[in-house]
Structure 1
Amino acid sequence: MAGAEQPRPGRVIVAESGRYLEDFAVGDTYEHRPGRTITESDNIQFSLMTMNVHPMHCDHAFAAASEFGRPLVNSGLTLAIVLGMTVNDVSMKAVANLGWTDIRLTAPVFPGDTVYARSTVLEVRDSRSRPHQGIVTTRTEGYKADGTSFMTFERASLIPRRSHAAGTAGG
């Protein structure tokens, strides 16, 4: 093709996820997506894997006679799913999770429920012992598709500054 522009060599673009310390601001809220529908199989497998064989999680006859009338999703599973939903927005670049506090289970979750999460930044501060990092504290809420809040917790994460991240000239 005379005069046609020759194709240039393809570029490789690496998508970046997560945030550095400088990217967080007190009051910011992250809506974590996508949501996750919890299945009966998820619930039974997690309960067996963690050796939590309480009949409320895996015995339909037992659960039917309870005040809930059906099996409950293991709260350890709901915590794991909600926490996992936050990783890309809150801790993908974290050096360490420093702790979870004030975990509250405020409503039941049942197999078939679709859950979502949101996190609000409560505090961003420099680390006293690690000058190239800081601590971000967030409050996370797990809620169902109908808007019912079922869980809240606070979490502190050790986050690097952009200039000292792994793989950068300063890091």
Structure 2
Amino acid sequence: MYSAYAQISENRFLEIYGLNFEEFSVGQVFHHRPGMTVSQQENAEEALDTFNAAMLHYDAHYAAQTEFKKPLMVSTLTLQKIFGMSWKTFARKDRITAFENISMTAPIFGGDTLYCSSQIIAVEETEDKTGHVTVKACCTNQEGVEVANLTYTLSIFKKGKHPVWGDLPNTCSNPWFLAYHQRENGSLQEETGIYFEGFGKGQIFEHSPDITLHSSSMLRHAVQSMQWHPLYRDHEFAREVYGRDRLPASELHVLSLVTAATTTTFGRVVANLGWTDTKLSRHFYADDRFKVQSEVLSKRESRSRPDQGILTVKTVAHDQTGAEALSYTRTLLVYRQGGGPYAAAGY
């Protein structure tokens, strides 16, 4: 069974994603998790950002006069969500080479939740470093109604050829670290995170992929959090007052990114109970790149919640020079095996 980690040493594990070309076979079915709830706000933004003149997507009064009665989701936004939801299984792709068929089979509206599954229908060997895998994807809503299906072909790196994951094995023997669990019909469903029982003191998890700061997301984060200090948006102010030639990132934006980088491993968290000993060593700028890792310092069962446990974890982010840029200790409430909303939610 495929693991979500490569074991680097006895207690060190690297998050990895996707299957090599050789690991796909005709008939495999993958159920992707998590699902995604779409909103009318992002529907309107997608239409306007792409100059979509079909007012059905953003004019609710107009839409009320149609058979749909409310704005219809942009079809290409649905396609983007399908590929976003399925990226983990197909993470070792080089590119999409063709769309053989795209069908929108039922309407989608803001507030709907989408889920995706993929069936492998063809595997073609090539003499290149990649091979071709043809996939039939099915997208359903929260009621189990199919809303879209498509057939497309990917070129996927062969074993040892991926430029990042390369020869790293995805067969770590730890049974808590599986990338999938098998349904009764033999299909594979993606796992999200590790149960409390799977953690042990001294384990170190290298989170993947690395983080790169982008100027556009730095500004957007500052604006949307009402961090309107001119330091984050006015080059002249930053230069004249602070002597900086570049606009810095908000420290909270960097903390958010580093924390989010840990959520693949800590995906079964009930709640984040808080940070302590948070240290930031310098200013942060666009194009800074961070490698993030977390060490489990301690674990204990919850006295008041029998289906949950408490972890204490230290997370460190190193920048592109290898220097420690940010670190913190965090306390997490984590579901134990058999607990949580997973079965009821289709996870």
Counterpart Cα distance in 2 of 1:68 and 1:78: 18
Q: Answer yes or no: is the 8 Å Cα contact 1:107–1:149 preserved in 2.
A: no
Match of 1:35 in 2: 210
Counterpart Cα distance in 1 of 2:342 and 2:218: 39
1:64 CA drift (Å): 2.3
Q: Does 1:153 align with 2:328?
A: yes
Number of aligned residues: 162
Match of 1:82 in 2: 258
Match of 1:12 in 2: 187
Match of 2:248 in 1: 72
Match of 2:296 in 1: 121
Q: Structure 1 residues 101, 8: closer, same or farther in 2, change over 3 A?
A: closer
For 1:17, give the aligned amino acid.
Answer: T
Match of 1:3 in 2: none
1:108 CA drift (Å): 1.5
1:8 CA drift (Å): 6.9
Q: How does 1:105-120 map to 2 (within 5 A)?
A: 105-120=280-295
1:167 CA drift (Å): 4.2
1:28 CA drift (Å): 0.9
In the alignment, structure 2 segments of 5+ residues that lack a partner are: 1-25, 30-185
1:102 CA drift (Å): 2.0
Q: How far does the alpha carbon of each residue in 1:87-122 deviate from its partner, in whole angstroms, 9 at most, with x for none?
A: 1112x1111211122222112211111122111111
- Report the RMSD for the aligned CA atoms in angstroms: 2.1
For 1:28, give the aligned amino acid.
Answer: Q
1:53 CA drift (Å): 1.7
Counterpart Cα distance in 2 of 1:100 and 1:138: 10
Q: Answer yes or no: is the 8 Å Cα contact 2:218–2:249 preserved in 1.
A: yes
1:67 CA drift (Å): 4.3
1:160 CA drift (Å): 1.7
1:26 CA drift (Å): 0.9
In the alignment, structure 1 segments of 5+ residues that lack a partner are: 1-6
TM-score by length of 1: 0.85
Q: Answer yes or no: is the 8 Å Cα contact 1:21–1:133 preserved in 2.
A: yes
Counterpart Cα distance in 2 of 1:137 and 1:68: 37
Q: Does 1:26 align with 2:201?
A: yes
Residue identity (%)? 31
**Which of 332, 337, 343 is 1:162 aligned to?**
337
Counterpart Cα distance in 1 of 2:27 and 2:289: 45
Q: Answer yes or no: is the 8 Å Cα contact 2:28–2:187 preserved in 1.
A: no
Q: How far does the alpha carbon of each residue in 1:29-77 deviate from its partner, in whole angstroms, 9 at most, with x for none?
A: 1111101211111111111111112222111122223244321111111
1:21 CA drift (Å): 0.8
Match of 2:232 in 1: 57
For 2:228, give the aligned amino acid.
Answer: V
Counterpart Cα distance in 2 of 1:61 and 1:12: 57
Secondary structure, counterpart of 1:76 in structure 2: helix
Q: Structure 1 residues 149, 8: closer, same or farther in 2, change over 3 A?
A: closer
Counterpart Cα distance in 2 of 1:51 and 1:124: 37
Runs of 4+ in 1 over 4 A off after TM superposition: 7-11
Q: Structure 1 residues 88, 8: closer, same or farther in 2, change over 3 A?
A: closer
TM-score by length of 2: 0.44
Higher radius of gyration, 1 or 2: 2
Q: Name which of structure 1's ranges 44-53 and 148-157 shifts more when overlaid on structure 2.
A: 148-157
Counterpart Cα distance in 1 of 2:245 and 2:28: 62
Counterpart Cα distance in 1 of 2:199 and 2:320: 27
Q: How does 1:97-108 map to 2 (within 5 A)?
A: 97-108=272-283
